[in-house]
């Protein structure tokens, strides 16, 4: 702390005192990610007017002081996974800000006040005279959905990455604002939307978003978007908590550029998934995690010809390893977190060993089937057969 010419300070260990930082007048970078012991920011940090990068992610920080608005050269502010409970309105004075990451899944934020929105005076926003669209240089924004979205989210046309988390159904309250913003933000390359309640996330068509390559949707969408509504250059996709009724593979396997696919935490309520010959032409990584009722996964010869990594995790009703895996010679790693009965099938000499013996690395972990799935799975299978009129599929 004795060098007045220090430009960057990166901390990788415990650092309980920041008062000396005020002496570092020329500091441009202050990175304290994972630094234990930091719960408050002393006023001295507010004097670092040349600061461009401030990373407080995964610290114990509880409050962000109003003097944050004095750091007028700040371009990156990272509060990701802190326990900050309020973001002061002064943050909207940072017109040079390019990257703002303030998402904490456990705590609701209000951009304009440090309290719940129901406590906020009606004229607070009018008195502040500040709106989110003043931050016109923003390229990255991670935040919670709230009334700030109505003050110009769609005007942030330089945004490249948008991550929004809804709590208590708030995303549904601002679904029209979000819908219109997603339509207009054509430069987006990453979109992440999470709704923690059982409220539908309404998606626009992304067919004209040619830069958009990474989408995460966690929450209820009701129905998978039409193939033509996906962005043309989508390479990474995560869908979670959807409980879709239709076989999603019929659409997803036709995405021409998709390389990584993660389907997890109750994404599908059906019994059968099918990957057709020629489907997923560029897919390299596939994760299937916690399907409630999936029992039969069919992989035809010629499907997923470039698959390298496959993770089958807690799909308790799955009857077998798909026979089509024997034809995927590119497969390098197979991870199986499954019940003991299933793992017996994939051991050397087991019923499914011949299907996967060509895979160089196979990792297995036993997981007990939850009682609720054991109890209701036979009923779900019977209901599916009755409703679809199909026979139980055979392995390929």
* pLDDT at 223 exceeding the cut of 80: yes
- Evaluate whether residue 380 is within a structural domain: yes
Longest CA pairwise span in the chain (Å): 78
Q: What pLDDT score does 116 carry?
A: 36
- Residue for token pair 């019929």: 250
- Evaluate whether residue 392 is within a structural domain: yes
- Evaluate whether residue 292 is within a structural domain: yes
- Evaluate whether residue 118 is within a structural domain: no
Are the CB atoms for 37 and 16 separated by under 8 Å?
yes
Q: What pLDDT score does 156 carry?
A: 96
pLDDT digits (tens, 9 = 90+) for 39-76: 888 888 898 999 999 999 988 888 899 999 999 999 99
* pLDDT at 17 exceeding the cut of 50: yes
pLDDT digits (tens, 9 = 90+) for 279-297: 999 999 999 999 999 999 9
Q: What pLDDT score does 126 carry?
A: 40
Q: Which residues contact 233 (CB under 8 A, 6 or more apart)?
A: 210, 211, 212, 213, 257
CATH code: domain of residue 342: 3.80.10
Q: If pLDDT is split at 50, 70 and 90, which confidence band does 118 have?
A: very low
Higher-confidence residue: 190 or 1? Answer: 190
Higher-confidence residue: 334 or 245? Answer: 334
Among candidate residues 33, 8, 28, 160, the one with its CA nearest the CA of residue 99: 160
Residue 70 CA neighbour count, 13 Å, CB half: 11
Q: What is the DSSP letter of 323?
A: G
* pLDDT at 374 exceeding the cut of 50: yes
Are the CB atoms for 143 and 100 separated by under 8 Å?
yes
Could you give the CA distance from residue 76 to residue 82 in angstroms, rounded to a whole number? 16
- Evaluate whether residue 372 is within a structural domain: yes
Q: What average pLDDT does the chain have?
A: 88
Are the CB atoms for 88 and 114 separated by under 8 Å?
yes
The terminus-to-terminus CA distance of the chain in angstroms comes to 66
Q: If pLDDT is split at 50, 70 and 90, which confidence band does 278 have?
A: very high
Encoded tokens for 376: 């209701």
Distances in whole angstroms, Cα of residue 290 to Cα of each of 198, 246, 269, 272: 18, 17, 11, 14
Print the SS3 string covering 26-53.
Answer: CCCEEECCCCCCCCCCCHHHHHCCCCCE
- Residue for token pair 């309640």: 197
Distances in whole angstroms, Cα of residue 384 to Cα of each of 138, 154, 293, 370, 380: 48, 43, 10, 21, 6
- Evaluate whether residue 302 is within a structural domain: yes
Q: Residue 127, SS3?
A: helix
Instruction: Give DSSP secondary structure letters for 353-383.
Output: HHHHTT-SEEEEEE-PPPHHHHHHHHHHHHH
What proportion of the chain, given as a percentage, has pLDDT over 70?
90
- Evaluate whether residue 71 is within a structural domain: no
Higher-confidence residue: 2 or 292? Answer: 292
* pLDDT at 313 exceeding the cut of 70: yes
Q: What pLDDT score does 2 carry?
A: 56
Q: Which residues contact 386 (CB under 8 A, 6 or more apart)?
A: none
Q: What pLDDT score does 191 carry?
A: 97
Per-residue exposure over 252-268, b if at least 16 CB sit within 10 Å of its own CB, e if not: bbebeebbbbbbbbbbb
Higher-confidence residue: 88 or 358? Answer: 358
β-sheet bridge partners, residue 192: 163, 216
Could you give the CA distance from residue 180 to residue 42 in angstroms, rounded to a whole number? 40
pTM over 0.95: no
Q: What pLDDT score does 178 carry?
A: 93
- Residue for token pair 């054991």: 374
Q: What pLDDT score does 128 carry?
A: 56
Lowest mean pLDDT among 92-106, 152-166, 350-364: 92-106
Q: For the chain, how many structural domains are there in total?
A: 1
Tell me the residue range of the domain where 245 lies.
235-396
Could you give the CA distance from residue 82 to residue 61 in angstroms, rounded to a whole number? 6
Could you give the CA distance from residue 263 to residue 336 in angstroms, rounded to a whole number? 15
Distances in whole angstroms, Cα of residue 232 to Cα of each of 79, 212, 229, 258, 270: 32, 8, 9, 10, 27
- Evaluate whether residue 206 is within a structural domain: no
Could you give the CA distance from residue 42 to residue 21 in angstroms, rounded to a whole number? 9
């Amino acid at each position: 702390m004795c060098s007045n010419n220090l430009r960057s300070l990166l901390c990788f260990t415990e650092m309980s005192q920041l008062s000396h930082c005020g002496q570092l007048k020329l500091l441009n970078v202050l990175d304290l990610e994972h630094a234990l012991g930091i719960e408050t920011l002393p006023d001295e940090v507010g004097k670092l007017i040349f600061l461009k990068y401030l990373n407080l992610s995964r610290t114990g920080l509880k409050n962000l002081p109003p003097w944050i608005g004095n750091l007028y050269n700040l371009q990156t502010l990272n509060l990701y996974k802190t326990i900050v409970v309020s973001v002061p309105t002064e943050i909207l004075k940072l017109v040079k800000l390019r990257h703002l990451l303030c998402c904490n899944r456990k705590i609701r934020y209000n951009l304009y006040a440090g309290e719940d929105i129901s406590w906020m005076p009606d004229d607070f926003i009018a008195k502040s005279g500040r709106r989110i669209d003043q931050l016109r240089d923003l390229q990255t924004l991670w935040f919670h959905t709230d009334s700030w979205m109505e003050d110009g989210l769609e005007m942030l046309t330089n945004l490249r990455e948008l991550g929004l988390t809804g709590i208590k159904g708030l995303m549904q309250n601002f679904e029209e604002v979000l819908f219109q913003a997603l339509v207009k933000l054509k430069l987006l390359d990453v979109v992440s939307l999470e709704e923690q309640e059982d409220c539908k996330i309404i998606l626009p068509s992304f067919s004209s978003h040619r830069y958009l390559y990474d989408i995460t949707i966690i929450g209820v969408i009701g129905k998978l978007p039409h193939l033509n509504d996906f962005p043309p250059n989508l390479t990474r996709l995560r869908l979670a908590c959807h409980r879709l009724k239709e076989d999603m593979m019929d659409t997803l396997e036709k995405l021409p550029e998709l390389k990584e696919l993660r389907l997890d935490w109750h994404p599908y309520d059906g019994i059968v998934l099918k990957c057709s010959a020629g489907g997923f032409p560029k897919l390299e990584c596939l994760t299937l995690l916690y399907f409630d009722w999936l029992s039969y996964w069919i992989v035809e010869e010629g499907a997923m010809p470039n698959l390298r990594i496959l993770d089958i995790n807690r799909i308790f009703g799955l009857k077998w390893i798909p026979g089509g895996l024997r034809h995927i010679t590119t497969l390098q790693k197979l991870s199986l977190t499954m019940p003991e009965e299933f793992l017996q099938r994939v051991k050397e000499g087991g019923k499914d060993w011949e299907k996967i013996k060509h895979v160089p690395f196979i990792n297995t972990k036993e997981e007990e089937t939850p009682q609720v799935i054991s109890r209701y799975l036979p009923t779900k299978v019977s209901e599916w057969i009755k409703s679809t009129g199909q026979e139980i599929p055979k392995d390929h």
